[in-house]
């Protein structure tokens, strides 16, 4: 095979093949390459200056992109050179990636395949181990993340995600960008403290205006310590989770209190009671009306649940506070112990609920980010490295944003 054709296919500027070997049985092509200049110079791997003094030479075998159905291996001459600044060190080759047994463009091709397929499928395609493919993809994502323009964090979201059996992950998100920025194991105050230590230094904390978080006290303590000037806004979905729990507890109490036909009417109505009225079909509304007409306490519980939704429609804190007080007064003499407990919980966290009037944080973004993470976990058949998981989510979110802009 002519050397000129090999050089044009190889596309490594300054390098040429001087020997090659075809192994037909395994469809493998091995190329021995070196610099083609008559008086070559070498780049110091430490300081980057050009030198010509050679200390020693050795051969290094690396894998390159395939040529059709042929697997290609390159045997490269690697020189240890004399540098006036660093002493004796190995030369730098731009087409190689550190000490890994493959070229930089080979790693880039593997990383591109990982954007659309699971790691195990990519490993089968390139005949690599899943661990090797995962390391290649993570290094590519880390390089992509380092080169991104870092924008100031103004609206922050903190939520938990169950990612492995019996294990929880604390996820911190940028609500303006709509992507996760950090994750740590367990749901503790120390986990969130570590986020501020590793990712958000004091000079960047002053830009944070609002934090969307659930009513988990360890998170609140950490946020008040590190972000004393930021407004804490409690997530609407977590607040409504407490409200729905009160409705469900009332339904359970009334079910066991009633007997005979009244209990039969209430049977199987749990999800009807937990669904908002405007989301029910006509048949479901009729079924729910039949059950509520026979039980006054259940009707009052459902009415209170529907009413509390209006709390997030106000713009002024005084008006929202007036509405909440009226909602509390409507609980008098209703004999709803679950809602009395709920009222105490909401009253203790009223500042974070009313803060939404001043800071309209997008509640749905936090849940969307968690749903995106769960989808990535399912597609990848699980993740053991939460840092790798966050990088994958950031890349997919950035690609979706570019696709929408196009």
Given this model, what pLDDT does residue 244 score?
92
Given this model, what pLDDT does residue 68 score?
86
Where among 50, 70, 96 does a domain terminate?
Answer: 96
Q: What percent of the chain has pLDDT over 90?
A: 42
Same domain, residue pair 250 and 311? yes
What are the angstrom distances between the C-alpha of 63 and each of 25, 51, 97, 133, 344? 18, 27, 11, 14, 65
Given this model, what pLDDT does residue 161 score?
87
Given this model, what pLDDT does residue 148 score?
86
Where among 52, 69, 96 does a domain terminate?
Answer: 96
Kindly report, residue by residue over 222-272, the tens digit of the pLDDT. 999 999 999 999 999 999 999 999 998 988 888 777 777 777 777 777 888
Kindly report, residue by residue over 360-373, the tens digit of the pLDDT. 999 888 888 988 88
| CB neighbour list of residue 90: distance below 8 Å, 6 or more residues apart | 45, 78, 79, 80, 81
Exposed/middle/buried for 253, CB within 10 Å: 0-12, 13-18, 19+?
middle
The helix (H) or strand (E) run that includes residue 392 is helix 386-405
Given this model, what pLDDT does residue 406 score?
61
Residue 282, helix vs strand vs coil: helix
Give the pair of three-digit tokens for residue 188. Answer: 């503790």
Count of the separate structural domains present in the chain: 3
Is the pLDDT confidence value at 325 over 90?
yes
176-186 average pLDDT score: 90
Is the pLDDT confidence value at 219 over 60?
yes
Secondary structure, 3-state, 166-204: CEEEEEEEECCCCEEEEEEECCCHHHHHHHHHHCCCHHH
Is the pLDDT confidence value at 329 over 60?
yes
Confidence of residue 2 (pLDDT cuts 50, 70, 90): low
Same domain, residue pair 240 and 350? yes
Same domain, residue pair 9 and 41? yes
Same domain, residue pair 339 and 371? no
Judge whether 132 lies within some domain: no
Same domain, residue pair 324 and 338? yes
Judge whether 35 lies within some domain: yes
Same domain, residue pair 253 and 338? yes
Same domain, residue pair 334 and 262? yes
292-300 average pLDDT score: 84
Q: What percent of the chain has pLDDT over 70?
A: 98
370-384 average pLDDT score: 83
Same domain, residue pair 317 and 253? yes
Same domain, residue pair 246 and 315? yes
Judge whether 377 lies within some domain: yes
DSSP H helices, 227-362, are: 236-257, 261-266, 270-274, 282-293, 296-308, 317-329, 337-348, 350-354
> In terms of residue numbers, what domain contains 43?
1-96
Phi, psi (degrees; rounded to nearest 5) at 183:
-150, 145
Same domain, residue pair 188 and 270? no
Same domain, residue pair 344 and 249? yes
Q: Which of 160, 316, 315 is nearest to 238 (CA)?
A: 160
Judge whether 126 lies within some domain: no
| CB neighbour list of residue 263: distance below 8 Å, 6 or more residues apart | 255
The helix (H) or strand (E) run that includes residue 121 is helix 119-126
pTM of this structure: 0.80
Of residues 406 and 282, more confidence is placed in 282
153-178 average pLDDT score: 87
Same domain, residue pair 281 and 379? no
Where among 96, 114, 131 does a domain terminate?
Answer: 96
């Amino acid at each position: 095979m002519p050397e000129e054709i090999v050089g044009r296919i190889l596309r490594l500027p300054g390098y040429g093949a001087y020997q090659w070997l075809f192994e037909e049985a395994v469809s493998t092509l091995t190329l021995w390459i070196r610099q083609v200049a008559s008086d070559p110079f070498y780049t110091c791997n430490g300081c980057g200056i050009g030198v010509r003094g050679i200390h020693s030479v050795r051969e290094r075998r690396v894998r390159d992109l395939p040529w059709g159905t042929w697997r290609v291996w390159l045997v490269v001459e690697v020189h240890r050179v004399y540098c006036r600044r660093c002493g004796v060190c190995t030369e730098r080759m731009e087409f190689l990636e550190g000490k890994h047994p493959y070229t930089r463009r080979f790693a880039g091709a593997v990383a591109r395949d990982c954007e659309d397929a699971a790691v195990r499928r990519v490993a089968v395609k390139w005949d690599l181990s899943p661990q090797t493919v995962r390391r290649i993809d993570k290094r590519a994502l880390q390089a992509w993340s380092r080169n991104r323009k870092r924008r100031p964090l103004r609206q922050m979201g903190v939520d938990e995600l169950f990612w492995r059996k019996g294990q929880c992950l604390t996820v911190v998100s940028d609500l303006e960008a709509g992507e996760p920025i950090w994750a740590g194991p367990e749901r503790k105050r120390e986990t969130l403290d570590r986020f501020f230590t590793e990712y958000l230094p004091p000079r960047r904390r002053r830009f944070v205006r609002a934090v969307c978080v659930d009513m988990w006290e360890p998170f609140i303590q950490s946020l008040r310590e590190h972000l004393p000037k930021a407004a804490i806004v409690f997530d609407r979905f977590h607040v409504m989770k407490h409200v729905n729990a009160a409705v469900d507890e009332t339904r359970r109490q009334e079910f066991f209190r009633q007997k005979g036909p009244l209990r039969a009417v209430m049977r199987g109505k749990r999800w009807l009671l937990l669904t908002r009225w405007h989301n029910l079909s006509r048949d479901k509304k009729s079924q729910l009306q039949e059950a509520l007409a026979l039980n006054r306490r259940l009707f009052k519980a459902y009415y209170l649940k529907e009413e509390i939704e209006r709390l997030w429609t106000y713009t002024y804190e005084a008006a929202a506070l007036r509405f909440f007080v009226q909602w509390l007064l409507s609980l008098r003499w209703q004999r709803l112990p679950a809602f009395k407990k709920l009222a105490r919980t909401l009253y203790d966290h009223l500042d974070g609920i009313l803060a939404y009037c001043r800071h309209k944080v997008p509640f749905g973004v936090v849940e969307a980010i968690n749903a995106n993470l769960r989808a990535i976990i399912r597609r990848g058949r699980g993740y053991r490295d939460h840092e790798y998981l966050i990088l994958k989510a950031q890349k997919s979110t950035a690609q979706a944003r570019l696709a929408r802009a196009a």
